[in-house]
Structure 1
């Protein structure tokens, strides 16, 4: 099914008429090893000239992944929690770093994740913390900078630029996967209406346009419909007012 891009095209035209620029970034979660899906992700990143911030699960990350990413500008390694294990109570939403955990234990895992990936990726790793399921107890936020992180990324528009002193918040905003239903592509009309509303809010000053607009993907579970929509969307944005944003706290 071909999506109707009319409303998005009209919104992007309004951005250009206003002389506005949309910073965009791309985050993809759950990498641990080289796979055919990863190759497809990297190839698309190179075609678009839009680096993908690859949120890697530290406990399971392989040396082969580090070797594959070495020297490529297509992927930027960041830290995806520790083990991507649920520590929440059965009646709570899944989380690895939620309120159900002892703070010291959670911080130990966050620090272990950073140090593990630093050993694998060296200065190529960027110190961004991406909690699994995009959930993080507020009690942990003030401590992350002290562990060596300088950015935190979850989901939905941020309310302020800093999550805590020394900790930039850069969230993602659009997830194309229907996690609770088909696990294929969310209805295109729903995705596009959400996107248009978010862009209009930024253009009208109702949301923070200094925050890069984040596209969230999960390459390991994409079907062809998800791949096709993401490629079409990113090409459309980049042909308009969007400009790539990259987190570069550390220089390789």
Structure 2
């Protein structure tokens, strides 16, 4: 973008700094810096290092008559806004997000019992997609935690995080394993491998790679989920 000299109409300056240097040397004076008044819209001279908002005290006074001072509901910072924004509650997007979160309802998930926050107008009853899916699951879930982890991680092919969420949905928030404990238990069971996102049938499992087909070698698990 080129800049034009307001005195000699030369328009080959690549930057405003170059234009100012030219004007000072060629025409013996600095270029006047102008800005637009926030109230009346007229142009006025303003220092480059401290540009003003109004062209006069009169405009400043008139503008302030049409503005109100509010206090941010989150951090308490005072802000001056037009009367048209008199219902403004926050000074920034961060404060808005934090402030609105305080208005959320605290609800108990109907599947796992975990407490979660949600906007009051939303009819949400469950805390996560994992709980939504488990609510619709048509397969029986075992009571034994290791058998449940084996089902979710090996047989159904979920990753560690989703396995953690699913077992939480099954056994409940108060009795579930924490995420790190899920990983540790899978390692203890000998099934912790780099195939979290894959899916197999029971016949595809290689005992030499993943250990016994079920925890403790309980073959009744295969009968329970047999499709034959």
Question: What's the TM-score once normalised by structure 1's chain length?
Answer: 0.19
Which structure carries more strand by proportion? 1
Higher RCO structure, 1 or 2 (CA under 8 Å, sep 6+): 1
Larger Rg: 2
Question: What's the TM-score once normalised by structure 2's chain length?
Answer: 0.21
